Amino acid sequence: MSEFFRNHKKLICILVPVLVVAIIVIVALVSDKDAPGAIREASIDKRTAPGATGASLSTKSVDTNKELNGHYLVAANDGYELYLRKENLSIIVKDVVTGSIMESTVLDDDGSTNASWRGFLQSGINVEMQISNTTQQRKIDLLASGAQIDVKLVPGGFTASIDYTQYELGFDVTVLLYDDGSIEATIPESSIYENSETNKIGNIYLFPMLGNTKLGEMDGYMLVPDGNGALIYLNDKEGKYSAAYTQKVYGTDVGITEPYVLSLFWKKYETVNDPEYILAPVYGMVHENSKMAYLGVITSGAEGATIEAYPNGAYTNYNWITAKFLKTTIYNEPTSNSGGSVVKVTDRLGYDISVRFFFTRNEEANYAGLAGRYRDYLLETGKLVPKEDSFKLRADFFGTDRENWMFTTKAATMTTTDDIREIYADLRNEGVTDLLTLYKGWQDGGINNVPVDSYDADSTIGGTRDLTKLMEEAAENGISFYLYVDALRANPSTTNTTFNVIKKIDTRLYSEETYKDVYATMHFLTPLRTNELLNNLVTDMAKKDIRNLALTGITNTMFTFRYSGTTYDRFYTAGMQASLLENIAGRTDLVLEEPIETYWKYTNAVLDMPVKDSDYIFTDESVPFLSIVFKGSLPMYSDYVNFEANKNEFFLKLVETGIYPSFYLTMEDPTGLYYTNSNSLYSSKYTIYRDTMIEYYKVLKEFNELVSGATIDTHTIAEDGDVTVTYSNGAIVTVDYSNSSFTVVKGGSTVMEYKVGEAE
């Protein structure tokens, strides 16, 4: 035998490695045959796992042979199991406690959809490909495209490399299960490749069909973050809708022309009010039958995302909701001043995509439970910092504007510093002492003389010295008095806007039309210029020991723009504004008007908080989702009571939502503003609203003292529209809209009853 080995040594050295490799391959094939869900394992650094904040990865040992509807177990903890079907990256999330599941694809298509939509419904990840310099986008699913998918198990979940070889593009996705019952899906920007000159990634969807239902087979609803919050029921819509609800997170990008949002009404009437901003990058799905729900929180990429909700009948028979992430789009670039243009594709936006799905069950499987889970997440991650939340009535004042006069303009002054003193004294005599005030139009030149870079008050309101004195007096009386500043806009009629204002991506100067006679347009400042001017203002205010500042404009507006030959995207704008607000918040007492989630930690109050949604044709119910998130942590102030048609209903909405009332006041009759840009302020005279303010103050102060510091635990809407709200301190509030009244029960006893319009 030894002689045989000596004679055939070279042959053996060649055959042995070959045989070893063959055996490994055979074992792998047998293993794969015995366990169709078996996936290769890989390692991942838990410390740098995407989204690993406030929760740890689920590293419980799992049986990867365990099967559910053609999916195989890849991660588990004591609350949830995550299953995967690797062929189409479909996942199933199972609630171990209740046995309920949510699926991310439609496996059994009913045959009513075309091939393009069928592939979309059956794929966990979907791409809309931008084809060259055209307006066309093509849906690419994981099945029909012939995509190559390489899946590896990692602690807590899996990673997958997706190669659309036919189109020469691809990326990686990581899906991880956390011990807090959440699942995070992430696509790193660094993993994306595009090797074709003509095929670019337009939009990406991460598990868009998660929790989908067919027609009216499941009771429940989709949660959209419109305004304060809104629901779209999962009932059979009977073909009522032919398109989806679609809204860009944080508002439209004025630097890139985008489709106009759908009408608020059935017919194409002009909208009465502008739609509410999406302030929170969230969306949700609730299955009432199985008592399972999730809230999708966009943890990276919100500035490039659009929330889409498809009720059944809108293209398919399924209800589904998702975030769509924009990577590239098209725009028209002018080639001449005579109107010629060419279609161009934007450069790819370089950001990571990440969505965290928070699951809830049983009594928390509803919009209130999802809001509570979102609040916990915000507090855990420092995105929401608790602030003093004591009741104040907001009484804002309008100072001055300008109207045309001969070859110049003249002041139209509505409320001076002495007027404000007089109003404060009158309210104090009636017991109204807890006030928050924004002074609008205080600056030299009036409210439309922007930007503001120095503390210089208009002489017609009393001048800088008297305004400073008024603010000192207000502080002595416990009144929170803020100077209101638009930090975004520049008026080309009052300041030089040759430089430091933005151009759209098509190189055209962006102009915001006011549709007014005195100042027809406004321009937007570049973030760097905003930073410079606002810092100058704060420094100047500090010289007079003035710290109270209220900001608008940059609080919820971000845009793509071109400056000095370089293109800057919304992510740049948002980042610059966040840095600025962080700096300003450290030097001032700062309050923000309708701030987006990114800026919540910098504000001491939310101004102009919507009490309901935008009344889109798609939404079935308005709910106080954001109010539940904020109540007890951050004071909220409403839009102005002045401009509400049904003031009784609005009053009850303030009780239901825990939002504090706001009034916009002038000492003079606002008809004096008729020839100014502020002529939309048609009803503001103090004497008209005096008694209403006093009533609101006394009743809502008493009510809010009963729930002070508490959070909202539950919120339910009865079939007749009446609402019951339960607070963490045991207070139970019932709002009877049909009878225009509310009651508060605490400790088993009724502690407050009130009917709107009746004296106490």
Structural contact between residues 511 and 521, judged by C-beta atoms closer than 8 angstroms:
yes
- Concatenating the DSSP letter of every residue in 640-675 gives EGGG-S-HHHHHHHHHHHTPEEEEEEBSS-GGGGTT
How wide is the angle at C-alpha 381 spanned by C-alphas 379 and 382, nearest 5°?
A: 65
Amino acid at 265: F
Q: Using alpha carbons only, give the angle 235, 240, 244 rounded to the nearest 5 degrees.
A: 85
Of 151, 178, 210, the last residue of a domain is: 210
**Contact status, residue 142 vs residue 89, Cβ threshold 8 Å:** yes
Q: In the structure encoding, which two tokens stand for residue 34, read together?
A: 């015995």
**C-alpha dist (Å) from residue 98 to 110, 286, 732:** 28, 15, 29
Q: What is the DSSP letter of 557?
A: -
The structure tokens 């995302």 sit at 305
Q: Show the tokens assigned to 220.
A: 């429940």
Output phi, psi for 525, to 5 deg.
-75, 150
Taking alpha carbons only, the member of 441, 416, 550 closest to residue 491 is 441
Q: Which of 210, 233, 251 is the last residue of a domain?
A: 210
Q: Angle 170-66-56 (CA atoms, 0-180°, nearest 5)?
A: 65
Structural domains counted in the chain = 2
The answer to whether the CB of 649 falls within 8 A of the CB of 638 is no
Please name the residue that has the structure tokens 């205010």: 541
**Share above pLDDT 90 across residues of the chain, in percent, rounded to a whole number:** 82
How do beta strands 749-755 and 282-287 pair?
unpaired
Radius of gyration of the chain (CA): 29
**pLDDT 10s digits, 648-673:** 999 999 999 999 999 999 999 999 99
**Which amino acid is it at 261?**
V
Shared domain check, 134 and 57 = yes
Show Cβ contacts of residue 385 under 8 Å, excluding neighbours closer than 6 positions: 600, 601
The tokens of 603 are what? 């504000």
* One domain, residues 22 and 51: no
Handedness of CA 15, 16, 17, 22 (dihedral sign): positive
Neighbours of 170 (CB within 10 A): 20
Please give the pLDDT value at position 49.
43
Query: Could you tell me the strand order of the sheet in which 512-513 lies?
Result: 489-490, 521-524, 512-513
Residue appearing with tokens 């398109």 = 243
Average pLDDT value for the chain:
90
DSSP β-ladder status, 712-717 and 40-41? unpaired
For 338-394, what is each residue's pLDDT tens digit? 667 788 889 999 999 999 999 999 999 999 999 999 999 999 999 999 998 999 999
Residues 100 and 118 in one domain: yes
* Token pair belonging to 10: 């070279």
Tokens 């922007």, located at residue: 450
Quote the pLDDT of residue 756: 93
- Do 48 and 146 sit in the same domain of this protein? yes
pLDDT, residue 584, reads 98
Last residue of a domain, one of 181, 210, 239: 210
Question: Looking at the domain assignment, is residue 687 inside a domain?
Answer: no
Picking from 348, 371, 345, the residue whose alpha carbon sits closest to that of residue 301 is: 348
Do the domain assignments include residue 168?
yes
d(CA 612, CA 624): 7
Are 25 and 129 in the same domain?
A: no
DSSP codes joined into one string, 231-267:
EEE-S--TT--SS-EEEETTS--TTS--PPPPPSSSS
**Distance, CA of 439 to CA of 147 (rounded, Å):** 59
**How would you class 45 by CB atoms within 10 Å of its CB: exposed for 0-12, middle for 13-18, buried for 19 or more?**
exposed
Mean pLDDT of all residues in 93-102: 98
* Window from 16-30, 81-95, 386-400, 432-446 with minimum mean pLDDT: 16-30
Residue 345 in any domain: the answer is no
From residue 141, how far is each of 119, 204, 291, 307, 724 by CA, in Å?
5, 11, 31, 20, 45
> Which of 325, 320, 319 shows the shortest CA–CA distance to 303?
325
Which residue type does 17 have?
A: P
113 part of a folded domain: yes
- 274-318 pLDDT, tens per residue? 678 899 999 999 999 999 999 999 999 999 999 999 999 998 999
Cα–Cα distance list, 430 to 59, 98, 426, 477, 704 (Å): 63, 56, 7, 15, 19
Cα 614 from Cα 630, distance rounded (Å): 20
Distance from C-alpha of 511 to C-alpha of 490, rounded to nearest angstrom: 10
Rounded to a whole number of angstroms, the distance between the first and last alpha carbons of the chain is 111
Q: Give the three-state DSSP class for 157.
A: strand
Comparing 45 with 226, the larger pLDDT belongs to 226
For residue 746, being part of any structural domain is answered with no
Q: What is the pLDDT of residue 112?
A: 76
Residue written as tokens 């022309």? 257
State pLDDT tens for residues 167-212: 999 999 999 999 999 999 999 999 999 999 889 999 999 999 999 9
Q: What's the pLDDT band for 257 if we cut at 50, 70, 90?
A: low
- pLDDT band at 51; cut points 50, 70, 90: very low
Tell me which DSSP letter residue 48 carries.
G
Residue 300 near residue 353 (C-beta atoms within 8 A) = yes
- Contact, 703 vs 741, CB < 8 A? no
Residues 132 and 181 in one domain: yes
Same domain, 162 and 189: yes
Q: Is residue 681 part of a domain?
A: no
Q: Distance between CA 118 and CA 114 in Å, rounded?
A: 6
Of 329-343, 489-503, 742-756, the one with minimum mean pLDDT is: 329-343
Q: What is the C-alpha separation between 570 and 302, in angstroms, rounded?
A: 10
pLDDT band for position 131 (50/70/90)?
A: confident
Strands 489-490 and 193-194: unpaired
With beta carbons less than 8 A apart as the criterion, state whether 297 and 377 touch.
yes
Handedness of CA 422, 694, 478, 382 (dihedral sign): negative
Does 396 have pLDDT greater than 50?
Answer: yes
Q: Give yes or no: residues 167 and 48 share one domain.
A: yes
The 3-state secondary structure of 89-143 reads CEEEEEECCCCCEEECCCCCCCCCCCHHHHHHHCCCEEEEEEECCCCCEEEECCC
| Pairwise pLDDT comparison (631 vs 17), residue with the higher score | 631
Distance CA 547, CA 543 (A): 10
Q: Are residues 108 and 16 in the same domain?
A: no
121 and 12 share one domain: no
Same domain, 15 and 44: no
Tokens of 414: 């509505």
Sign of the four-CA dihedral 16, 19, 23, 28: positive
Q: Report pLDDT for 274.
A: 66
> Does residue 695 have a pLDDT over 80?
yes
Contact 89, 123 (CB under 8 A): yes
Predicted confidence at residue 19, as pLDDT, reads: 43
Q: At residue 35, does pLDDT exceed 50?
A: no
3-state SS class at 686: helix
Instruction: Take residue 340 and report the two structure tokens written for it.
Output: 């010629």
Answer yes or no: is 53 within a domain: yes
Range of the domain at 69: 37-210
* Residues facing residue 342 across a β-bridge: 333
If one counts every other C-beta atom within 10 angstroms of the C-beta of residue 674, the result is: 11
Token pair, residue 318, equals 């399924």
Q: 263 pLDDT exceeds 50?
A: no
Residue 289 lies in a domain: no
Q: 22 with 107, same domain?
A: no
